[in-house]
Amino acid sequence: MTNQMTPTMDEQARAILRGNDRGGYTVPTAGLYPYQWNWDSAFAAWGFATFDVARAWVEIETLLTGQWDNGMVPHILFHRPDPGYFPGPDVWGGVGPVPSSGISQPPVAASFARRVYDIDPDASREALARIFPRLKAWHQWFMDWRLDQGAVCITHPWEAGRDNTPDWDGAMAGIDPVGVGDYTRRDTSHVDPAMRPTKYDYDRYIWLVQLGRRLNWDEAALLEENPFRVADPTMTFTLLRAQRDLAALGRALGEDVSSIDVAIQELEAGAETLWNPDLACYDARDVRSGKWAGCVSNASFLNWYAGIDHPGMVAQYDRITSICKYPVPSHDPSSDRFDAKRYWRGPTWGIMNALIGLGLEECGHTDRAEALRKTTGELIRDHGFAEYFDPLTGHAAGGGTFTWTAAVWLGWTSPTRPKGAS
C-alpha cells in the first residue's frame, strides 16, 4: 500500500518542474527568477527528459529562439514582463529577436541535449537536427569573441553564473561604478540579504550592464572598453565539454564536425593556461591585470567534466572534501573569504556537484563520484530542493522549489534515473 500523504522525492521533483513551467520554458523559481535563464533551462531539460522527452526538447528550442544574429544565446530571455525582477529588459536593452539580457551563460545546453538524445534517440532526432546549427553558431560565438590564449573569458560576473565568487574580487576592484545612479534591488525582497551579493557587487553589476548597453552590446567595442575580462574555469571547461558533446551529436546526424574538432584542440590548450602553479589548482585569470584570482572554487573541479584528469586536482578535491561535510563548496572553506551562506562565496550547489560528479565518474574516480552523488542526494532529501546549501551544516539557502535542484535529483541522484540520463 502506498502512503498517500507523502509524495516521493521523484514526485516532488516532477511537481517542481511542472509548477515552474510557464509554457515552453521553465523559470528557475517563482518570484526570485521569473524568466527563462540559459543554463537553468538546460538542466530543466535534463530533468524533463527523465519523464517527458518531448517537453525537454521544447525547453531547449525555446531557449534558442532568443539567439542573436551574431550567434550569442542570452543568459535571460524576458518572454513576459515581470516587475518583481531587476534588472529587467528595459535596463538591459538586448538586441536579439526576444527581449533579453546582453551576455551569455555557461554553455551546457549541447551537453544536456546529448543526454536527452541518449535517453530516446528515435524521439529526439528531428529536434536535434533543428537545433544543431544553432548550438554550433553559439559555440562559435565564444570561439570568435571570448578566447584569451584559448581560455574562455567572461565580460560580466553574471555570465559565469557564479555571480559573487571571490574569483572576481580583483577584477571587480578595478571598476569604479561612477554614475550608476539609483536603482532598487528586488532579489533581497525575495531572499535573506545575507545570502545574496552585497551593494558593492550590485553597483558594479549594474554599471557593467549600463556599459554594455551604451556600446549596443557590440563585442568588438566591449573588447576595447570593458575593464572586466576574466578567463574563467566555468566557461572554459563547460564549453570544452559542450564542444565534445556537440561533435558527438553532429556525427550521429552525419554532419561535418571538423571545425568543432579544431575548436576542441584550441580549448584543451586554453584550459591549461588556467593552471595556477602556486595554488596548484585551476584558477580564474584576470586578463586585464594578468593576475590570478588565487581561488579554489567548485568551478576549478570541472576539469574532469571537460575530460581533463589532473593529479593535482585529485589532491585538491580530497583536501576540500575532508574539511567540509557537504562538498563541493563554491569557495575553499580554509580561505578567509569563505562565507558559508553567501551565494557563490561558500555554498554548495547541486548543479555543480552533478557536473563534477559526472566528470569524476567518466575519468575513473568512481568512489569519489559515488560519494558525491550520495551526499548531494542526502542534502536534497534532508533539506529540500533549495537553490544552494550551507556546506558545513547542509542548511538550505537562497530560493526554494528550485528547478535545477529538482532536475539534478531526477537526472543524477534519484535511484530511478533512466539509463542514459547519467
Write out the residues near ligand DGY by the rule CB under 6 A. Answer: 75, 158, 163, 187
CB atoms within 10 A of CB 305: 24
Q: Report yes or no: 165 and 106 within 8 Å, Cβ to Cβ.
A: no
Q: Which is nearer to ligand DGY, 75 or 285 (CB)?
A: 75
392 Cβ contact partners less than 8 Å away, ≥ 6 residues apart: 324, 325, 326, 333, 340
Question: Does 192 qualify as catalytic in the annotation?
Answer: no
Q: Which is nearer to ligand DGY, 171 or 257 (CB)?
A: 171
Minimum Å gap between C-beta 351 and ligand DGY is: 13
Catalytic residue among 163, 286, 332, 390: 163
163 to each of 67, 156, 167, 315, 325, how far by Cα in Å?
Answer: 22, 8, 10, 27, 24
Q: Is 61 a catalytic residue?
A: no
Report the C-alpha dihedral over residues 346, 82, 411, 43, rounded to 10 degrees.
-80
Cell digits of residue 374: 550520495
Nearest alpha-carbon partner for 252 in 126, 421, 417: 126
Question: Which grid coordinates belong to 139?
Answer: 559555440
108 or 260: CB nearest ligand DGY? 108
DSSP letter assigned to residue 323: S
Which of 67, 69, 75 has the alpha carbon at shortest distance from 135? 67
CB of 399 to ligand DGY, least distance (A): 10
Specify the residue, 260 or 408, whose C-beta has the smaller distance to ligand DGY: 408
Give the shortest CB-345-to-ligand DGY separation in angstroms: 14
Minimum distance from residue 287 beta carbon to ligand DGY (Å)? 22
Choice between 103 and 392, CB closer to ligand DGY = 103
In the complex, least distance from residue 106 CB atom to ligand DGY, rounded to whole angstroms: 12
- Mind telling me the catalytic residues? 163, 387
